[in-house]
Every structure is written in C-alpha cells, then in structure tokens.
Amino acid sequence: MEKIRCDLLVIGAGSGGLSVAAGASQMGANVVLLEGGEMGGDCLNYGCVPSKALIASAKVAHGMTTAAPYGISPRSPEIDYAAAKDHVKQAIATIAPVDSQERFEGLGVRVIREFGRFVDHRTVEAGQHSITARRVVIATGSSPFVPPIPGLEDVPYLTNESLWELRERPSHLLIIGGGPIGMEMAQAHRRLGCRVTVIEGGKAFAKDDPETAAVVLEALREEGVEIAEDALASAVRKDGPNLTVETEDGRSFTGTHLLIAVGRKANVEGLDLERAGIKRTKTGVDVDDNLRTANRRVYAVGDAAGGMMFTHVAGYHGGQVIRPLLFALPGKARTAHLPTATYTDPELAQVGLTEAQAREKHGDKAEVARFEYAHNDRAIAERKTAGLIKVMVVGGKPVGASIAGHQAGEHIALWSLAIANGLKMSQVSAMVAPYPTYAEINKRAAGAYFTPRLFGNDTVKKVVRLVQRWLP
C-alpha cells in the first residue's frame, strides 16, 4: 500500500470538493483529491446540469404550442425524447472538462479515483493508498432518498440518477414527491408530451412561501400536470405493463413509469466516521458553525454537512473553509443569505425568511413590501405577467425575499447580496435598472416599502407645503 502525506485531503469531487481542491492547490497547498464515482459529482452528471438541459428542450417545445398570442401560428412539435436526452448529454460533455481529472491534475492536485474510508483521526485509506493529511474535507455529496414504500423494491422505478438513461418517452409518468426536483421534471415531461401525475404526501412546495408557490402550482395545473396533494404513498405494485401507486386515503394512480423524488440523503455511509471520532446527525456529518467536525482536523461541506443541499451552497462552503484550512483564520458559514430556486416556468425563488417566518420571529416589526409582475412593462411586452415579489423588512433592512415569476432565480441574487451585506431598503431603492427590464421589479419592490412613508404621510405633505411657500 502506497503511503501518502499531504497538507489537505478532499474526499469527493463534486462542487464543494472541487472548489476546495482548486483553491487550496493554487494557493500552494499539497492537495490529494479522492473520487470513486464521476468527477463533477451529482450536479454535473445527474442533477443541475442535465435537469436544466431537459427543461430547455421542454421550453422550446412549449413555445411552439403557445405562440399564437405573439402573432405566430402555433405548431404541434414532433418531439424526439431520445434526441432531447442527447442534448442533455451534450451539455454535460461540454461542461465536464472543467471538472475533469486532467484539469485538476494540471492545477497540481493529485487525483485518486477511489472511495475512501477513515482508519484513524487523520488517515484515510483508498484502494491501495494510505493517506495521512494535516486536514481533511468531507465533500461526498448526497444521493436520492428512496422511501420504504411497500412493494417499491419489486417494481422498476427511476431516480434523478437513472432518469437520464431513459430513452423512450414515458406515456404516463408518475412522480412521488412535490418538491423542486419532482415539479421541475413534472413540467418538463408534460411539455415533452407525457401525461404526468405528481403524488405528494403533504403540500407541494411545502418549504416555500404559500402565496408564491400557488403561482407556480396554478401554472403547472393549467399546463395539464395532475398534482395530488395530501396523498401519502402507501403501496406500489406492478399492474400488467403499468405501475400503480396507492395512497393512505384510498386513492390510486396508474402510469407507465415511476420517478421517486422525495428528497436526498448525505453520502456518509462507508466512510467509517467513528474511527476518526466524527459524529453523525440524521441528515449528515455533525459540524459546527465553522463546518468543523468533532475531529478538529476534519471539516465537512455541501450536502455531506447535512444542511441546505444545493450546489451553490456547496461552493459557498468550499470558499468558507479555505480560510481555516490554509490560514488558520475563522471562516464561519452563515445561512441567512443563501438563496434557493426552482426552475419551473414560472420560477420560484427564496432567500432568508418567508413572510410567515418573519412574522413569527419579529412580530409587528416585520413589514412586507410587494410588487406584481403584471405592473412591469417588460413582463407585459413579453406576456410573462404571472408572479410577484415579496420582501420581508425589519428596521429598514430586508430579512427575506420570496419571488414567483419569470427569471425569479436571477432576481433573487440581488436580495442575497443585500442580506449578506446588511444593506438597507434605501440602498436597494437607489439602484437604477435599465428600462425596460425585469430587474425593475426589485427596485419597485423597494420603492413599495417607502410608498406609504412618502405618499401617505401627512407630516411629509405639511413639510412640502411649507417649503413651497418659502421658495422664491
């Protein structure tokens, strides 16, 4: 067994692990990177990239059928599902070199294509390699969670990992799970000509603001996506050539294919964490605010840390741990400014507190500034008027924003910036957006916060009248 010593060992080559490995190596650290699966992790190979590529194909198909309001004769598209999957593979292949073993070896990182496991507090074995590191970062990502539904083990089903190998278009796709993954794939497949039924045990988009979630749910239902809420799956069975999902309340749903999209679980099995003195939680590795484990030599980032499971969060974590790893400086990870986005059409985005959370935490001090897409000139010109923005404000500063509408995932970044830097609503209001753009929605929301203070304030009116009397 080859014995290796290094400054930093990174376990996992997904977004978080690659961020840490690239940054540390380019700043002079001796870095070893372990990856037993695909370079680029879930995001590149099974998650963000392929899903957004398929959504793009679906959007083109949908545009052909909904062109009449723009003065264009609508057409029924001839959809080649396998060719759409080829588009997905091309997108992955185009991005893959950025995450490749060759690129990281070019950056000075030693890449070992093996899974690792701890043997003591600072040593990890991977294949025929024994690696002793000054510091270790666990960045092993997550995998689809498959619930223990009776009968599920006896029927064929898809997850976000196996979906991309499917070449034949489903006639009727059943999706268990009404969260972001389930809803994105529901709309995409409906637009690609599938019948789609979403089976959700609680409320769809349960973690999002109910008012903004309702905008998206209405749009999906109008497109023909069947959404069954409060429908907890209790059994799955093979029904001839089809599959049937039964729910606790007695309903049943039959389709040709089944996608499981109920959430994700951290990939921490097989790491032998206990040998390194590392504790686990129900959701992943137990870390403090600095992303450090009970073993002070070891950190965990991204999905492995058991918090918000998003690629951009993993990248953020990677940047935060560089400070303590390389410079022995504190690098506390915060969550208040971390946004989320669901890439349905219209999109759904959130950062910080929802309205309910803000009122629960801050009581009467919480105010809500709102603006409707229907009053944005660009949205009117492009017929993208469904949606709204809500900004939760305490003491003149935004503490959260909820957006449903066209490009909501783009707009939420401004509010992440504001919350991260403690900006005031007056500073956001001072922004000048080009006309006509959707970006004006953010500015108008900030303006809505000041409207009652300026235009509904008798004191302001009295001051204006007084000043006018004295003006020459």
The answer to whether 104 is annotated as binding is no
Strand pairing report for 233-239 and 226-228: unpaired
The answer to whether the annotation marks 178 as part of a ligand binding site is yes
The answer to whether the annotation marks 425 as part of a ligand binding site is: no
Backbone angles phi, psi at 207, to 5 degrees: -85, -10
140 marked among binding-site residues: yes
Q: Is 371 labeled as ligand-binding?
A: no
Whether residue 116 is annotated as binding a ligand: the answer is yes
The residue ranges of DSSP E strands in 278-346, in sequence order, are 298-300, 340-342
Number of Cβ within a 10 Å radius of residue 170: 21
**Is 240 labeled as ligand-binding?**
no
Q: Can the peptide bond before residue 452 be classed as cis, meaning omega within 30 degrees of 0?
A: no
263 is in an annotated binding site: yes
Residue carrying the six token digits 């092993």: 140
- Return d(Cα 182, Cα 175) in angstroms, integer: 6
Is 387 annotated in a binding site? The answer is no
Cβ atoms 402, 354 nearer than 8 A = yes
Whether the link from the prior residue into 144 is cis, omega within 30° of 0, is no
Known binding residue 16? Answer is no
* Residues near 144 by beta carbon (within 8 Å), at least 6 away in sequence: 159, 160, 161, 260, 261, 263, 264, 265
Q: What angle do CA 182, 185, 188 make, to 5 degrees?
A: 150
141 is in an annotated binding site: yes
Length in residues, the chain: 472
How many alpha carbons lie under 13 Å from residue 268 in its C-beta half-sphere? 24
The per-residue b/e assignment along 409-436, b for 16 or more CB within 10 angstroms, e otherwise, is: bebbebbbebbeeebbbeebbeeeeeee
User: Is 205 labelled as part of a ligand binding site?
Assistant: no
Which run of H or E residues covers position 432?
Answer: none
Q: Is 27 annotated as a binding residue?
A: no
The annotation status of 183 as a binding-site residue, yes or no, is yes
Residues 402/389, Cβ–Cβ less than 8 Å: yes
Task: Consult the annotation and say whether 197 binds a ligand.
Answer: no
CB 150 within 8 A of CB 234: yes
Does the annotation place 86 within a ligand binding site? no
**Tokens of residue 464, six digits:** 């204006």
Q: Is 71 annotated as a binding residue?
A: no
Binding-site residue set for FAD? 52, 116, 140-142, 303, 309-312
Binding-site residue set for NAD(+)? 177-184, 200, 263
Binding-site residue set? 52, 116, 140-142, 177-184, 200, 263, 303, 309-312
